[in-house]
Every structure is written in structure tokens, then in C-alpha cells.
Structure 1
Amino acid sequence: MSTLFELQQRFQDAILLADAPLGLFAAESTGSGGFSVYLQAYSARLTAALRDNFPTLHRGLGDDAFAALARAYIAERPSHFRSIRWFGDSLVEFLAAVPERLPHPALVDLARMDWATRTAFDAADATLLGFEDVAALRPDEWPEQVFKAVPSLQILDLEWAVEPIWKTLNDDEQAATDAPQALPHALLVWRPTLECCWRSADPCEAVALRALRAGATFAECCTRIAKFATTEAARTAAEFLQRWISEGLLARD
């Protein structure tokens, strides 16, 4: 006689593993009741979670194509989180590994934007750095000063100019869109207060922000900027800093 744990394990395997023997659940694996309810509900609930986490990708693909993609992802990447909110954390990697899963490669970047905005929205709040905080620094403190990005900041490397399509489909899921242009660039996504923001960043700014997130001092950021800037690195860094404070990209310690 099976123990309760063994029975529960076989029940879980029958739901999660496509090639698992159904055993005593086989008789109830078809139809509209019994064990079939669990088989159908598991896939349906995870598909719904993917639609919620990737709404723009869903709109770009359409219901049928997204459902087929979800089935393939669920089969290969079953959920390992206690919260269904995080299901889909490796969908971008899944799509990028086999581009043929999508009708257009730019859809991978739509998925990147979807996940980044969801992640930024759920990130921890932060007290924003103000101009008065910077004004209080002594001249000798600037070289070793370390500025912190808000926890929500995401820096994405995109291959396509998908932002207009992403915005259009978010505003109107029935809207028609043109194919995007290939354009390698960096995109910033963050949440200064209650709503997420995003904009592109030139290579110099992206390098500076990545250095800042890694704990670089202001002097070290200036060194990184000097490799890109056509003007004085310290002046460019100061301009970046002013913009970052204005846009709510930096947090107080």
C-alpha cells in the first residue's frame, strides 16, 4: 500500500511530467471531471500567469499563438516558485534560444520590456536622492562618493526599436503596428514612485549607470565616461547626475 507521501508524489508527477505513468489516475485523466480537472487547471492557470506577466507579447502574438507558446514553455520550464507571480522568469531566455518559436525576432524584445516593467513595478520602494543631498557634499567627498540607483532600475540591451510598438499595444490591444527596425540600443526601465518609466540611453550613459550599479565611485564613473564622451568626462558625469536625480533614478543610502 502506498504511503500518503508516495501518493502525493505520483499525483504531482502525473500533472507536471508529460511522460509520467498515470497509474491509478489514468481512468480519470480524460473527460471533464476528476483528475482531468487538475490536468487542465494547472496548464490554464500558468498560461494565465504568463498572459498577465507578458501582456504586450500576448497582444503581439494573438491568443492562439500565445497559448501554443505557453504550452511549450510550461512543458520545458515548469514553475518552481511558491508565487505564481514569478512564473515566466526565464521566458526571454527560452525564446532567445530558439528564435523560430516566434514569427518575428523583435518579439523577444517585447518580452524583455514586459518582464522588465513587471519587475520594476514589484521592486522595493526607495527614498529618492534630491539635489539638496548632492549640494551638501564637500568638494573633497566627490571623488569617492558612491551614488545608488533605485532598486527598480533595469538596463536592457535591445536589438530592435520596439518601444513604439510596445506603447501602442499597451494603449490599444487591437491596434495595427508596422514591423520595427533593427536598432541595437540600451533601454532604461524604472519606477521612481507609483508608475514605471522607460527611455533609451546612449552607450555612454548605459556604461555609467552599469558602473554605478556595480558600486563604482564618482571618479571611477568619470573614468568609464571618458572612454565615450566627446567633452570633459566630469562635466558629462555631472549632466548625467542632474538628469538621473530629476528623473528619480537615484536613491538615498
Structure 2
Amino acid sequence: MSLVAQQQQLAAAIRDGSDAAGLLSGDFATGLQVYRHAYRARLAEALADNYTVLARALGDEAFDALAQAYIAARPSQHPSIRWFGHALASFMATADDELVPHASLVDFAAMDWALRGAFDAADAPLLESAALAALGPDDWASLVLHLQPSAQRVTLAHAIEPAWRMLREWQPDSGADQPELPEPVPLQHTLLAWRQQGETRWRSLEPLEAALLQSVAEGAPFALLCERAAAELGDAEAAAPAVIGALQRWLADGLLRRP
């Protein structure tokens, strides 16, 4: 057996638990078990780091059970351990009640991942209000806005934000008891996460702003943003002021990049 084949067999034995007969035996078999355990433990630690609030919501034992189930079902495929767990929310959506005792926990996972993605996104130069002020009246209709790479939009099915905030602020190592959490009520809405001046930020979006940001992400020009606002509001006269108001907030939040 070539060295490359041996390495591939050993990696499969550690990663997937496949048979390593003929490669390891005797005392080496114990070492293999140590490597298998360490490999899964490291992946579970990475999940806990990427999903800090979800881990606190579930507790150590329940989160470890979820992590081990996910590791078995969705083996790591990315060279960087940072991106392990990208499909955890979708995995949880189809998991049984023993692993996911409340449907809102899927939203906790989605929010955690969106914020981590916002933190790690690439930088881009900001669109400044002076650039828009220099536009002529005929330029606005065809103006196309561009979201910052850090802008993450995720659809949530429950109003988890109050409970998420409480868990994020709770420090388990301080010895303080876990806070009493409000029951997340069903509420279909969009959460926006982004990075501004090196810090991750988030807020829940009203339906109009969520629709406008979706149009921006799709590359719609300013004229179509106004049309969409008119349809959402049912008032053509209120559309342009609403879009301008949203644009001013996006500029202040640093959500837009220079084209």
C-alpha cells in the first residue's frame, strides 16, 4: 500500500469510523480511538463557538448530543473548521424532538450563524451620501445600490430576539443562573445582521424594509424600489419618501458599498 493510500485510509478511519484493518492493530488501535474521539470533540467545540447562544439555550449535554448527531450526518467538508456547521439550522429543522425540543431553536441557530457570517465577511468601501448628492435628477431612476458583503438577511419563524439577547449577555462562567427566558412566539419576519466599524450589529426588519432590501439584493434600480414601496404601502405618493428614509438609514448603518 502506498503512503498516500495509507494516509487516506487513516483519515477515513478517524473521520468516518471506517474499517482500518491491516493498517492499525494492537496498541495502535487504542491510539486510533483517541484520534477519533479528539476529532469529534474538536468539531463539537467549533460548533459551540459558532453557535454560542444556541449552546447556552440547549445546555451542555443537549448541545453535545445535537453536535454529535450533526457530525455523523454532515461530516466536515471545508478545509477551515471555521465554516463547519453551515447547515446546522437546516439539519435541526428535520431533527426529532429529542435533539430539538422547541422549533424556535432552529431560529437561534440561524441567528447565530448570520452574526458570525457578518463578522467574518470581507471589507468593502462604503457608499457615502456625497456620492448620491452629486447625482443629477435623471440619474436616480436607474441608480442601483449594492449591499455590503457583511449584510446578512435571514428569515425567522419566531420572535426569538429578546431571548437571544438575554442569553448572549448571560455569562455562565460567572456562576449566575440562566435567566428566565420569554417564550418565543411564532412570528415570520426577517432579521438583518451586519458589521459596522468592526462590531456586529443586528435588528429585526419591518416588512417594507425587508422587501426593499430584497430588491436591492436582486439588483433592482431605484425606480423599481419605489414601485415596490408603493405596492407594499398601497400609496404611490408615500413610496418615494419611504425609500429615501430607508436609504438614509442604510447609509447611517454602513449597509451600502460603493459600486
TM-score by length of 1: 0.93
State the Cα distance separating 1:28 from its structure 2 match: 4.5
Distance 1:187-1:29 versus aligned 2 partners, 3 A rule? farther
Instruction: Give the deviation of 1:21 after TM superposition.
Output: 1.6
Moved over 4 A (4+): 28-31
2:9 is matched with which residue? 10
Q: Distance in 1 between matches of 2:71 and 2:227?
A: 45
User: What displacement does 1:115 show?
Assistant: 0.2
1:242 maps to which of 241, 248, 253: 248
> Quick one: which amino acid aligns to residue 8 of structure 1?
Q
Matched residue, 1:107? 105
Contact (CA 8 Å) 2:14, 2:32: kept in 1 or not?
Answer: no
Q: Distance in 2 between matches of 1:224 and 1:234?
A: 10
Question: Tell me, which stretches of 5 or more residues in structure 1 are unaligned?
Answer: none
**Residue 163 of structure 2: SS of its match in structure 1?**
helix
What's the % identity of the aligned pairs? 45
Please show how residues 23-42 of structure 1 align to structure 2 within 5 Å: 23=21, 24-25=23-24, 27-28=26-27, 31=30, 34-42=31-39
Report the Cα offset of residue 177 of structure 1: 1.2
Looking at structure 1, the residues matched to 223 and 112 of structure 2 have their Cα atoms a distance apart, in angstroms, of 34
How far, CA to CA, are the matches of 1:70 and 1:144 in structure 2?
A: 48
TM-score in terms of structure 2 length = 0.91
Structure 2: stretches of 5+ with no match in the other structure: 172-177
Aligned length in residues: 249
Q: 1:248 Cα deviation (Å)? A: 1.4
Partner of 2:185: 181
Shift of 1:15: 1.4
The correspondence for 2:94, drawn from 72, 92, 97, is: 97
Larger mean Cα displacement after TM superposition, 228-237 or 208-217 = 228-237
User: Over aligned residues, Cα RMSD in angstroms?
Assistant: 1.5
Match for residue 175 of structure 2? none
1:229 and 1:236 in contact (8 A); partners too: no
Which whole-Å deviations, capped at 9, do the CAs of 1:223-248 have from their partners, x for residues lacking one?
22221024421121111111111121
CA contact (8 A) 1:29 1:39 kept: no
